[in-house]
Amino acid sequence: MTQPAALDELMTLVDPGKVLTDPESLQAYGKDWTRYYPPAPSAIVLPRTIEQVQAIVRWANAHRVALVPSGGRTGLSAGAVAASGEVVVAFDYMNRILDFNAFDRTVVCQPGVITQQVQAFAEEQGLYYPVDFASSGSSQIGGNIGTNAGGIKVIRYGMTRNWVAGLKVVTGSGELLELNKGLIKNATGYDLRQLFIGAEGTLGFVVEATLRLDRAPRNLTAMVLGTPDFDSIMPVLHAFQGKLDLTAFEFFSDKGLAKILARGDVPAPFETPCPFYALLEFEAGTEAVANEALATFEHCVEQGWVLDGVMSQSQTQLKNLWKLREYLSETISHWTPYKNDISVTVSKVPAFLRDIDAVVQAHYPHYEVIWYGHIGDGNLHLNILKPEHMSKDDFFASCTEVNKWVFEIVQRYDGSISAEHGVGMTKRDYLGYSRSPEEIACMKAIKAVFDPAGIMNPGKIFAPE
């Protein structure tokens, strides 16, 4: 734990009252959405300026105190969890949009700006920030950059990385680096900005970001299609991708739909029960595009790939169809799910899912399993629900045993053990299934350059040695 004298010194580095040590704050700021590791930070510090962040880092180096960067704490890998007496650095008071350039289509944000705030700001300018997911009302830009967040629009717009034009970071030794300065073209050697995106706060703090915005999409329209089996989803994706520029292609299983309908506040898409559902979205800017979508739907029905379907005719219907997918993560959180967030190249998805499903069925016959995910990106979310009577520890221990078999399949398919949620603490023991020993050695060497004393988020990405 951090010594009281060191904490007294920390208090002199930030605004009055911005170091918190009361039990409620330690609980609230010490965890993320995983809620598995009991939070145990020494203190929470809330800087207001970049200079204060630098002073905190220098203080941490001097006292050998570990720092945990904290955003909206919606992370699903325990990346922002402080379970071992660390000091949490939270950005609630660095939450302003600083600048906007209509010509460059860029917006400059402090790290604590909420993702949805950027989306709303872009909309006010007649533009669009396309990184979007169910937690965007709580997650922060610093956390999104820390995890290289993906979400529901990746098939068209890519991950957070694609939208970061420039970054200011404070490294683990307290230096301020200004990376790429918003440029589109910059061929001057290593692009250090990219190293900080997805680094889960292990190299330093993101203290400012210049984000790109896009033109606003026109008349977004969604379809939900029911398929007779999982294999049919892929030819449906192929057929629609051949005709339309999709902005999303998601899937969920009948078990997932049942959980959503049981809430009572989301209408069923149609009557026909189907084992799997695809949700796709596109811009229906002209009637010709809408007609093309309907013709493709009919073709999929004729081929036997689709049993039933519905297309949104209004913004309300569009929103209701999205609720079927967007509410899933939060709805099933009631059953404390054990989550795997795995990916392979899109063409390998059907065989990959079949192999994983066989392992899961063999080892979890008594658990309820919910599949959903960003199937257009090859990203599957496998959720094992905890039986009501079972303790959280026993449940997680039994799920962890099966990870080995799941990740062996991931490795065999050249896939990733974490598609978009990060490694954090939950997946750190499995990094070797996706990265070679040589790659991991390079990653550790890079960390040592930016964080020589190892104070930045230790125990995340890499297991403690």
CA 61 distance to own-chain centroid: 30
* Residue 458 interacts with ligand FAD (CB under 6 A): yes or no: no
Q: Which stretch binds ligand FAD (CB under 6 A): 99-107, 136-144, 239-247, 346-354?
A: 136-144
> For ligand FAD, how many residues bind (rule: CB under 6 A)?
39
Q: CA-CA distance, 185 to 65, in Å (whole number)?
A: 39
Q: Which stretch binds ligand FAD (CB under 6 A): 128-136, 180-188, 249-257, 358-366?
A: 128-136
CB 274: neighbour CB atoms within 10 A?
A: 22
* Residue 171 interacts with ligand FAD (CB under 6 A): yes or no: no
Contacts of 367 (CB under 8 A, 6+ apart): 384, 385, 386, 387
For ligand FAD, the closer of residues 142 and 226 by Cβ is 142
Q: 423 with 461: CB under 8 angstroms? A: yes
* Residue 305 interacts with ligand FAD (CB under 6 A): yes or no: no
* Residue 337 interacts with ligand FAD (CB under 6 A): yes or no: no
Q: Least separation, in Å, of the C-beta of 109 and ligand FAD?
A: 11
Could you say which residues in the range 250-279 bind ligand FAD, by CB under 6 A? none
**E strands, 123-275, in order:** 127-128, 164-171, 176-179, 204-212, 214-215, 220-227, 246-253
* Residue 149 interacts with ligand FAD (CB under 6 A): yes or no: yes
The residue from 33, 59, 163, 251 that contacts ligand FAD (CB under 6 A) is 33
CA neighbor of 347 nearest in space, from 304, 376, 373, 381: 376
The residue from 106, 110, 139, 210 that contacts ligand FAD (CB under 6 A) is 139
Q: What is the DSSP letter of 153?
A: T
Q: Which stretch binds ligand FAD (CB under 6 A): 3-11, 201-209, 259-267, 306-314?
A: 201-209
CA neighbor of 142 nearest in space, from 87, 83, 204, 98: 204
* Residue 210 interacts with ligand FAD (CB under 6 A): yes or no: no
The torsion angle over the Cα atoms of residues 355, 358, 363 and 364, rounded to 10 degrees, is 110
Per-residue binding string, ligand FAD, 62-101, x by CB under 6 A, is ------xxxxxxxxx--xx----------x----------
Q: 51 with 174: CB under 8 angstroms? A: no
Q: Which stretch binds ligand FAD (CB under 6 A): 41-49, 139-147, 264-272, 404-412?
A: 139-147
Q: CA-CA distance, 243 to 232, in Å (whole number)?
A: 17
Q: Which residues bind ligand FAD (CB under 6 A)?
A: 32-33, 68-76, 79-80, 91, 111, 133-135, 139-140, 142-144, 146-147, 149-151, 200-201, 205-206, 329-330, 420-421, 424, 457, 460
